[in-house]
Each structure stands twice: as C-alpha cells, then as structure tokens.
C-alpha cells in the first residue's frame, strides 16, 4: 500500500438514497480507491485512496460522468457546500411554487370541469410546463442513470409520470380507439403533474428538515472567527483567518474569540474555554500558557505566538471528527444499502407484474386500472425513507453528543455503546480530580540534605500522575534537583535512579517488596490511617532501606458518586481498577458505592482483566486517560477517554468526554441507546410503509372494497414518508 489519503468531499445534485449508492459505486470502481462511503443525509463522500494513483480531480471527473458533482477545493468547502445547498433550496422552492400554480387549475379541470369542451386539451397544455420546466430534472437524471445501466428515484418518477402522460395523450387524440371497444377514454394528466408537484414539495420539506440535523456542526463552526489581527513588522493589521501562518503574532482584545492555538507571548487574561473543555469557570492565562482557537478572551488584551492554525487547531480537529462521525455508517446501514441498491429494479418488476395481472384477471376494460396501479406502485415505493432512516438519526445523535461535550468517533462506537454490560473505570483522573497533592510525609530515617534533592530529580523525570504532587511540594520548599547518574522506569511499579554510587527508588509497595525494604512498626498505624482515608502511598528508599512514606491525596470528583448511581440505574455493572494498595482502593470504592475493584493493578493486569471479562461474554467499556491505560483501552469493546483540553485522546479512544464531569458518561450511554432506538424506529416505519403501501398501490384491496389508490395520493404518501423519518430523527434533539 502506498500513501493512503483520507478525504471528505461535499456531493452535489443527489436526490435520493439511490443517488448516494450510485456515487459510492462509481468512486469504489476507481483504481487506487481503498474505501468509499456516501452519506445521503450529509451529502458527503468520505474516500480513502492511494495518493500516488489518484487525485481529487480524477475522482470528481468520475462523479461528474455519473451525473453528480463534488466540491474538491479545500478552502471554504463547507461554506461553498452551504451556499450550494441554499441555492438548491431556493431553486426547489421556485419549482414547487411554479408547479402548484399550474396544478391547481389542472385539478379544477380534471375534477369539476372534465366535461367542458376541450377540457382534455386544456389539461394537456397545463401539464406540459409542469413536466418540462419544473420536473425536467427527473427526466434528465433518469436518462443519465439509464446510460450507466443504473436507476434511482428519478427513474421511478420519470417512468410513472411518462406512462400516465403518454396514456392520456393517446386518449386525447385517439379516443375512437377505446369508443370502438365500448370503453371510456379517460385522461390522467393531473396524475402526472400532481406526482411531480408532490415529489418536489416532499423534497423541499426534506431539505429543510435535513438542514436542521446539522445544527450542532453549524454551532461548532460558528466558534471559528473569520478575521484575525496580527502584528507584522510592528504594524497591527486585520487579515482573513485563512491567511494566518504558524509563527504569526496574533493580537486578541477583550471579548474576542481566539483565532489560533498557541502560547501567550505577551499580556495576561482570563479565557472562557467552556466551548472546548466544557469547564464553566474561566481559566487564568499568563505568558507561556497555551490557548485554543474558538475560546473567548474575557478581560485583558494579549498577544499569541501561533502554533497551530486553520485545519490543525483543536477546534478544527473536533469539527472534522464530528463531521466524519456523522458521515460514517452504522453496521445496520450496510444492510439497508444492499436493499436500496436493488430496490428500484424490484419495484419496476412489481409495477410491470401489477399491470399484467390487472389485464389477465380483469380483461381489456381494466387496462386503465392496470396503468394507474402500476403508476401508483412506481410512485409510492421511493427508497428515500429507507436511505434517510439511519444517517439522519446518526447526525442528530452524534451532533447532540458533541453539543454536550461528548465526542463519538464513529457510528460503530455509537452502536457498540448500547451493548455494554460493564464499565471499567480507572481511578486516577477518572473518578478523582487528577490534581493530586502531597498531604503527609513520614521519614523512616534521619533526613539528609540530599534526600529531597534526589527525590525531586527522580520525580521530575517520572510520568506518573502522582509524581507531580511531590514535585510541586518540594519546589515550594525551594529544593533543587540533584544531578542523577542514571534513571530507569519500572512499568507499573515506579522508578529507580543512581546518585553518588547509591541506588534510590520511588514507587508503590511492589517496589518496596522488590528491594526487600521493611516498614517499621511505628509507621504502620499512620500508614493504615492514610490508606483508610483513600490516599495514595508513595515509598521512597535507598537500596534495602525505606527512607520515607509520602501520602498523596487526589480528591474524588464531586459528580463521581452520582455518575456511578446513574450507570447502575441504566443496568450497567461497574468495576474500578487502580494501582493503589488494597486499603486505599477499598476506601475509594466504598465512598463511591462501587462493589467490585482491583487494587495493585499494573497496565498488563488492567488489560488482562478486560480480556477476562470479555471471555465471560461481557461487552466491556474501559474509561481512562487514553495514555496510561492504553492497553486496556485498546482491548475494550468501547474505549472512552477523559479529555482535558488539548490532551484529549481523540485519536486513541472511540469516545472522548471533553469535560472532567463524569456525569457525561451515563449521558453518553443513554444517548447511544436513544439514537440506536431511533434508527430502529425509522427503519421499521420505512420498511412497513413499503410493505403496506406497495400492495395497496397495486390494488390488492380492490376486489374486497373497491379501493384503488390514486397516483396523486401515492405521491403525497411517498413525500410524507421521507419527511416523517427526518422529523422523527429531529425529535431526539429535543429530548
């Protein structure tokens, strides 16, 4: 495999789920394409291809040949797509108004003035503009698909209206053909025109409703400022956001949105980061502190040294991730796609069979019934409702999650979450604040001046979350780090270093045992007290001597206990994993109401525990910081990272909770269940609609009660089915 490029392109001129399938098939056939997926609800193509074999221009050329178009320009593509969609909506609105201007008098002549002289000819004149001016796109679209050997909604509309129109045209100019056979020559011009008017109206309502499903993305994009103020050659000037470069000095005034990711090089202020991190309290920023694009400067003016601009900022990554997630396909959608791809040919077959059966069973006097029934079958069986059922629900669900600071990587993650039986929670930084402080020091040996120097130097090199607490405490005492001779990290246990020929070590009680150091009796009672209070214990020693015990407190988050209760209410079991000792783990788990926990857990132990649960048939969600728990996260059925601003593990986890509030966790599971339930509802009604509608349109009720579905009603029902699916999806956003 060469250089695999993954791109997202807005697609233009798609009318239905069949169109989406056609674009997908076209792109997949191109040499160099690894994977291609088209989402009809978002009008987006996501394609992975080998950069050395294919270019965006070549992909667009293939799509153009299939009758559609792509926006391949990287700059302002979302804006251009929005503009194109708005233009399409305006054109559609004009077509709808124009069509109904002709259809209303046409209905008057067909239902009230049908016996008036030249009534048929007047209806013909009123129908032609509707078919050519306002419904012409259906016929050109159907012709393009026919040349490619494919079909879509245009095929059904063009066929049904053409049959009704041509039959009526024949009866208008050759009525004697039927009179000679003792039959009345009826015309159905109104059916052709009303079908087009209703389909256009349905598409207009559908486009308007679909636009509401992308509200969350528009809100995220609204966080991106359009103008930036930069210092160049000592002069302050305003430029477009696209013209920013890494290294620029960006001036931000009070109340303005920050346009780049970078560091403060001058000034200080408080910044509202709630739109990114979810934390409501403004954060103080001083020289050297990092700031993020989209956040809001509240007080002072400052200058930022730009580190990431444009598509590389955290906000841009979040927007891109949500867009890709909304455009991804749930496993159930793959089945729907296969059904949709054969749907139109099957419907054509049913329509032909319907016409034949009417003639075979009823004879020549039922030929007009046969034509009407075949037309009704073609009209009522549009696959749009099926095509919209899954993607619209996903768009609303994933968009709603993003607005609540829950980033869901793709549709598979969303679907997997509802199956979770047990949530495995890491303690530090997940259940606790993740901001530990050193609260107690017990020295087993008389202190020597260099002990703290060595301890500081060792912990400054450590990546363990608790190391920062000791570093902060020692730096407050103005301790200076010693110059170490060697450093070694011992996974899951701690670290050891060399200083002046001696080996020093810092870590858990497992490291204490490895060095055969002993906790003297006089310290044991205090140690038990620390652990019973839920505090973590760090041991510091030299060779086989214990030098000190340090108690580190990492307070439990205010929302952790409530989050645990909410998860239990959802029927999910909970387990806590921690590297702390048994007494500390017991104290924390008891406080939170967690019955099951594993103490003294090394990274391998956490991964093995997840594997054991899966062997028991459990669906496991692992919640951690995305780094220390990477093994367990990789193994879990659903991996959930606790995000912290720029440290969010978006590339690691399937789901990222961007705020430290653990109550987002039950919300994420609840939202997953609601979204998947909505998908199933939409698919149920879309399938049921066709299963019931097609036989009725074919005329199965005619022998029982004389009911024959008029093609005009069939077109109205078809339009309503698509709109109802989208509106049902939008209901999730209001819950």
Q: Annotated catalytic sites, by residue?
A: 426
In angstroms, the Cα distances linking 458 to 461, 484, 545, 675 are 6, 8, 17, 49
Tokens in use for 610? 């997840």
Report helix, strand or coil for 265. strand
Burial class (CB in 10 A: 0-12, 13-18, 19+), 664: buried
Tokens in use for 175? 């009525």
Do the beta carbons of residue 429 and residue 465 sit within 8 Å? yes
Report helix, strand or coil for 186. coil
The C-alpha atoms of residue 415 and residue 394 are separated, in whole angstroms, by: 10
What is the DSSP annotation of 53-122? Answer: T--HHHHHHHHHHTT-EE---STTHHHHHHHHHHHHHHHHHHHHHHHHHHHHHHHHHHHTSTTSTTHHHH
The C-alpha atoms of residue 204 and residue 199 are separated, in whole angstroms, by: 9
For the four alpha carbons of 244, 248, 254 and 259, in that order, the dihedral sign comes to positive
- H or E stretch at 307: strand 302-308
The C-alpha atoms of residue 632 and residue 620 are separated, in whole angstroms, by: 10
- N-term to C-term CA, the chain: 45
Report helix, strand or coil for 661. coil
- H or E stretch at 531: helix 521-532
């Amino acid at each position: 495999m060469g250089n695999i490029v993954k791109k997202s392109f807005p697609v233009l001129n798609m009318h239905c789920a069949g169109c989406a399938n056609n674009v997908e098939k076209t792109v997949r056939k191109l040499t160099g394409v690894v994977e291609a997926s088209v989402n009809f609800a978002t009008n987006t193509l996501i394609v992975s291809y080998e950069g050395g074999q294919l270019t965006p221009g070549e992909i667009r050329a293939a799509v153009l040949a299939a009758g559609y178009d792509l926006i391949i320009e990287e700059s302002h593509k979302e804006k251009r797509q929005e503009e194109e969609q708005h233009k399409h909506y305006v054109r559609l609105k004009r077509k709808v108004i124009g069509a109904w201007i002709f259809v209303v008098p046409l209905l008057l002549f067909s239902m009230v003035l049908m016996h008036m002289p030249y009534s048929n000819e007047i209806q013909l004149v009123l129908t032609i503009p509707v078919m050519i001016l306002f419904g012409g796109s259906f016929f050109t679209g159907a012709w393009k698909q026919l040349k490619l050997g494919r079909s879509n909604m245009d095929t059904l509309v063009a066929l049904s209206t053409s049959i009704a129109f041509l039959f009526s045209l024949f009866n208008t100019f050759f009525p004697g053909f039927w009179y000679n056979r003792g039959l009345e020559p009826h015309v159905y011009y109104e059916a052709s025109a009303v079908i087009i008017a209703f389909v256009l109206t349905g598409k207009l309502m559908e486009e308007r409703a679909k636009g509401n499903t992308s509200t969350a993305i528009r809100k995220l994009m609204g966080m991106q400022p359009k103008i930036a103020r930069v210092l160049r050659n000592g002069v302050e000037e305003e430029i477009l956001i696209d013209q920013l470069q890494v290294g620029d000095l960006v001036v931000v005034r009070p109340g303005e949105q920050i346009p780049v990711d970078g560091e403060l090089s001058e000034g200080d202020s408080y910044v509202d980061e709630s739109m990114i991190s979810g934390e409501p309290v403004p954060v103080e920023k001083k020289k050297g502190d990092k700031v993020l694009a989209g956040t809001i400067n509240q007080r002072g003016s400052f200058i930022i040294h730009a580190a990431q601009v444009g598509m590389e900022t955290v906000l841009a990554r979040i927007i891109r991730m949500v867009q890709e997630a909304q455009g991804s396909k749930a496993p159930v959608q793959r089945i729907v796609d296969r059904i949709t791809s054969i749907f139109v040919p099957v419907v054509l077959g049913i329509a032909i069979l319907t016409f034949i059966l009417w003639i075979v069973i009823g004879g020549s006097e039922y030929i007009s019934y046969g034509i009407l029934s075949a037309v009704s079958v073609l009209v009522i069986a549009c696959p749009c409702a099926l095509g919209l059922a899954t993607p619209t629900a996903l768009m609303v669900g994933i968009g709603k999650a993003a607005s609540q600071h829950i980033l869901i990587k793709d549709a598979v993650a969303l679907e997997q979450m509802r199956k979770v039986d047990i949530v495995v929670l890491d303690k530090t930084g997940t259940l606790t604040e993740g901001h530990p402080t050193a609260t107690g020091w017990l020295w087993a040996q008389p202190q020597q001046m260099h002990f703290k120097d060595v301890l500081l130097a060792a912990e400054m090199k450590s990546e363990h979350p608790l190391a920062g607490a000791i570093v902060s405490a020692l730096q407050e005492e103005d301790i200076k780090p010693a110059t170490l001779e060697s450093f070694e990290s011992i996974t899951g246990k701690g670290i050891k270093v060399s200083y002046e020929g001696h080996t020093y070590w810092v870590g858990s009680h497992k490291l204490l045992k490895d060095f055969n150091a002993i906790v003297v009796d006089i310290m044991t009672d205090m140690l038990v007290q620390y652990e019973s209070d839920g505090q973590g214990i760090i041991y510091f020693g030299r060779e086989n001597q214990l030098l000190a015990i340090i108690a580190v407190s990492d307070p439990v988050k205010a929302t952790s206990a409530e989050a645990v209760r909410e998860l239990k209410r959802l029927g999910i079991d909970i387990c806590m994993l921690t590297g702390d000792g048994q007494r500390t783990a017991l104290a924390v788990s008891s406080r939170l109401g967690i019955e099951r926990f594993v103490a003294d857990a090394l990274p391998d132990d956490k991964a093995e525990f997840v594997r054991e649960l899966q062997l028991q048939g459990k669906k496991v969600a692992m919640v951690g910081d995305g780094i220390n728990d990477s093994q367990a996260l990789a193994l879990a059925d659903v991996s959930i990272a606790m995000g912290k601003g720029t440290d969010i593990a978006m590339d690691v986890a399937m789901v990222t909770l961007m705020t430290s509030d653990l109550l987002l966790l039950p919300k994420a599971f609840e939202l997953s269940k609601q979204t998947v339930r909505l998908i199933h509802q939409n698919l149920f009604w879309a399938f049921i609609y066709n299963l019931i509608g097609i036989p009725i349109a074919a005329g199965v009720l005619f022998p029982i009660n004389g009911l024959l579905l008029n093609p005009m009603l069939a077109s109205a029902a078809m339009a309503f089915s698509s709109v109802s699916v989208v509106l049902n999806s939008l209901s999730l956003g209001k819950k």
